Amino acid sequence: MVSAPDGRVVVSTDLLIEGRHFRRDWSSGYDVGRKAAAQNLADVAAMGAVPTCLVIGLGMPADLPVDWLDALTDGFRDECAEVGASVAGGDVTGCDLVVLGVTALGDLGGSAPVTRSGARPGQVVAVAGRLGHAAAGLALLEAGRYGQAPVEEGSALGEAVAAHRRPRPPYRCGPEAARLGAGAMLDVSDGLLQDLGHVAKASGVRIELDPAAFTVGEPVAAAAKELGADPLDWVLTGGDDHALAATFPPDVALPPSWQVVGRVVAGEGVYVRGRSAVQGGWDHFR
């Protein structure tokens, strides 16, 4: 049984399929557990709630090594510990690949949920957490730079790869944004442009982003130099960092954890430098 002190529960669910969302030759069982938990816990935080528990469905091949499975459960446990949540139960079945179905529950603590439809003209757009790090790490892995090899301690490139393997969502910033009066909020799982496109559509507004306002982290810059890429592309379209993006009234004093990167105006769509953005990002059916 899971208690719901608020009397209401927010719910989010995700599927992770081996070869589609993770590779066992790139990520350990522990990495996969942390990542699977993080992306679901971040969805709960993005509604302004505090995560309380996960329920997990696992499909796995009969020859899956026991130590990989033990590491997976350790990953779930340790990521849940970041927010004081727990694994409440689940189910296991045989499968040709490793498949994870994860459902997260959260408590609103008496507040209204923050949805995607509350953005209004005049509000500012702000982000909390890292952007582009996981995409930079994925690009390095795809270029054959690391595989499952341990990353070099303190290396900027290694930090990018580690970000792909284990995201670090800014969990506390979700309830914080709700207390600050956020109009709309979501976690950045499929790329900032694509995800803000969902906010713009749900709210019936236009979102304008200032590329000069974004901070490009050292791991992103180092990976871009290594691969000859534009780091801003990863910042704007890279997924899997599970940063939070939200809109706020213009007179709200935002804490340092939030960085203003744009504004909400009348219209539709997402614009960068005054031009309609090709939203890119992750599309499950492309």
**Mean of per-residue pLDDT scores for the chain:** 93
Q: Which domains are assigned to the chain? A: 10-107 (3.30.1330.10), 124-276 (3.90.650.10)
Q: Tell me: the pLDDT tens digits for 238-249?
A: 999 999 999 999
Residue 275: what pLDDT?
A: 76
d(CA 23, CA 29): 10
Q: Tell me: the pLDDT tens digits for 247-267?
A: 999 999 999 999 999 999 999
Q: Tell me: the pLDDT tens digits for 171-209?
A: 999 999 999 999 999 999 999 999 999 999 999 999 999
d(CA 121, CA 266): 6
86 is in an annotated binding site: no
91 is in an annotated binding site: yes
d(CA 238, CA 67): 31
Task: Say whether pLDDT at 4 is over 90.
Answer: no
25 is in an annotated binding site: no
283 is in an annotated binding site: no
Nearest to 189 by CA among 25, 35, 27, 24: 35
- Structure confidence at residue 150 as a pLDDT band (50, 70, 90): low
Task: Say whether pLDDT at 286 is over 50.
Answer: no
Residue 236 corresponds to which tokens in the numbers above? 């704007």
68 is in an annotated binding site: no
Residue 99: what pLDDT?
A: 98
Q: Tell me: the pLDDT tens digits for 153-170?
A: 678 999 999 999 999 999
Q: Tell me: the pLDDT tens digits for 86-128?
A: 999 999 999 999 999 999 999 999 989 999 999 999 999 999 9
43 is in an annotated binding site: yes
70 is in an annotated binding site: no
Residue 280: what pLDDT?
A: 54
- Structure confidence at residue 2 as a pLDDT band (50, 70, 90): low
d(CA 50, CA 229): 37
Residue 122 corresponds to which tokens in the numbers above? 């005049």
Task: Say whether pLDDT at 214 is over 80.
Answer: yes
67 is in an annotated binding site: no
96 is in an annotated binding site: no
